[in-house]
Amino acid sequence: MRIDLHTHSCASDGSESPAAVVGSAAGAGLDVLALTDHDTTSGWAGAATAAQHHGIALVRGIEISSRHDGVSIHLLGYLQDPTAPGLLAELERCRESRETRAQRIVELLSRDLPLDWDDVLEHVEPGATIGRPHIAAALVAKHIVTSVNDAFASYLGNGSPYYAAHYAPDPMQAVRLLGEAGGVAVMAHPFAGRRGPIVDDSVIEAMAAAGMAGLEVHHPDHSGDEVRHGTDLAASLGLFVTGSSDYHGDRKTNRLGDRTTDPVVLQQIEDLASGVEVLRP
Ligand code: AMP
Ligand code: ZN
Ligand code: FE
Ligand code: FE
C-alpha cells in the first residue's frame, strides 16, 4: 500500500486542481492520498469526488502555518472537523494576512522589477490561500527568473530584502486547536533547514506535550542525517513518523509518492482522529 500524506492543490499554492491532484495520485499508483493545502480546506470537496471516481482513499487534511520566536513551523493536520470555530477563525486570520503580506512583497519587488499585483493574480485561483509560490509563478511567466527555485533563490527567500511575514499562530496553539477539532497534528518537514531557520528540538518537545502526535521525518528536503535524527527524536518523544512528497504540481520538483507513510501509522492517525473519516472507495 502506497500512502502519500502531504500534497497541495490550487486551493493553495499547488498548480493542479484538487481533482487533478487526486487523478495524478491515482496515475502515480498511490492507494492513499492526503490533500493538505495551506491554511484551507476548500479543496476537500473536489478531491473527495475525484477520489471516489479514481478508486483511491482520501485523507482530508491541512498544512497550518504557525510561527515560534520568528521561526516558521508548518503543522500538518489530519481528519479534523473543518467547521470547528476556533481553528476556522485562526485560519481565516492567517489567510487574510497572507493576502496583505503578498501585496507588500509585490510592492517591494515592483520598485526594482517589472511586476505588479495583477501579474500575480493571474496565477491565483479565486479564494486560494496565497503564498510566495504564486509570486514565483508570476516571476517565471514574466521571464524575470527561469524557475520557481530561481525565484526563491533570487527574490523570495526568507532572508531577501523583499521578504515580508504574515500573521501565524503559535504552534502550541495550532496543535491545541487541531486537537479541539478532532484532528491529528504532525509537524511538517521539521528539519528542512535549507528553506530557512528551523526550531530546536525543545520546541518540538513542547509541541508533543501540547498534543502533537507525529513528525514528518521522510520529506524531500531532509538529508540522511536529518532523517536519522528525526527518527531518534520521534522515538524518544513517543511520536510516530510519516513520509510524504509535499507535491505542488509543477511549482516544485517533488513527485507524488517520492516519500511514503507506513500503513500502521495511517491506522494510528485514524484511531486518534474524531473529526472526519478517511474516505475509501
Ligand atoms: P509561503 O507560504 O508564502 O511562506 O511560502 C512557502 C511555500 O513556498 C512552501 O509551500 C514551500 O514549499 C515553498 N518554498 C519555500 N522555499 C522554496 C524554494 N526554495 N523553492 C521552491 N519552493 C519553495
Ligand atoms: Zn506550499
Ligand atoms: Fe510546508
Ligand atoms: Fe507543504
**CB under 8 Å to 37, separation ≥6 — which residues?**
8, 9, 11, 12, 14, 18, 43, 62, 63, 129
Q: Which of 72-76, 106-110, 191-195 has the lowest mean pLDDT?
A: 191-195
User: Considering the entire predicted model, what is its pTM?
Assistant: 0.97
Give me the CATH number covering residue 103: 1.10.150.650
Give the residue whose CA is nearest to atom 16 of ligand 1: 195
The amino acid that residue 24 corresponds to is: S
The CA-based angle 276-218-256, given to 5 degrees, is: 70
Q: What are the tens digits of pLDDT across the range 251-264?
A: 999 999 999 999 99
Instruction: Please give the share of the chain, as a percent, with pLDDT higher than 90.
Output: 99
Q: Is there a domain that residue 142 lies in?
A: yes
Smallest CA-to-CA distance from 198 within 75, 68, 77, 101 is with 68
Q: Which ligand is nearest to the CA of 129?
A: 1
Ligand (nearest to CA of 15): 2
**CA 211: distance to chain centroid?**
19
pLDDT of residue 116: 97
Identify the domain containing residue 108 by its residue range: 99-156
Average pLDDT score over residue span 68-76: 97
Categorize the per-residue pLDDT at 196 as very low, low, confident or very high, splitting at 50, 70 and 90: confident
Write the single-letter amino acid at 86.
G
- pLDDT tens figures, 114-132: 999 999 999 999 999 999 9
Beta strands in the chain (DSSP E): 3-4, 32-35, 57-68, 71-78, 184-187, 214-218, 240-243
Residue 147 lies in a domain: yes
Neighbours of 187 (CB within 10 A): 28
Would you place residue 195 in the very low, low, confident or very high pLDDT band (cuts 50, 70, 90)? confident
Distance between CA atoms of residues 106 and 25, nearest Å: 33
Is 125 within a domain? yes
Q: Which ligand 1 atom sits closest to the C-alpha of 13?
A: 10
Q: Indicate which residue's Cα is closest to atom 21 of ligand 1.
A: 149
What is the CA(165)–ligand 4 centre distance, in A? 17
Ligand 1: list residues with CB < 6 Å: 13, 38, 131-133, 148-149, 152, 195, 252
* CA 275 to centroid of ligand 3, rounded, Å: 22
Strand partners, 243: 218
> What is the Å distance from ligand 1's center to 13 Cα?
9
> Is 193 a residue whose pLDDT tops 90?
no
Going from the Cα of 36 to the center of ligand 3, the distance in angstroms, rounded, reads: 9
Position in ligand 1 atom list of the atom nearest CA 151: 20
Task: Calculate how far, in angstroms, residue 164's C-alpha sits from the geometric centre of ligand 4.
Answer: 19
Domain assignment of residue 141, yes or no: yes
Q: Which ligand is nearest to the CA of 245?
A: 4
CA 110 to ligand 4 centroid distance, Å: 27
> Is residue 130 assigned to a domain?
yes
As given in the structure block, the three cell numbers for residue 14 are: 499547488
Neighbours of ion ligand 2 (CB under 5 A): 13
**Within a domain: 74:** no
Instruction: Classify residue 94: in a domain, yes or no.
Output: no
In a domain, 136, yes or no: yes
Q: Which residues pair with 280 in a beta bridge?
A: none
β-pairing, 71-78 vs 57-68, is antiparallel
pLDDT at position 236: 98
The total number of structural domains in the chain stands at 1
From CA 94, how far away is CA 168, in angstroms rounded? 6
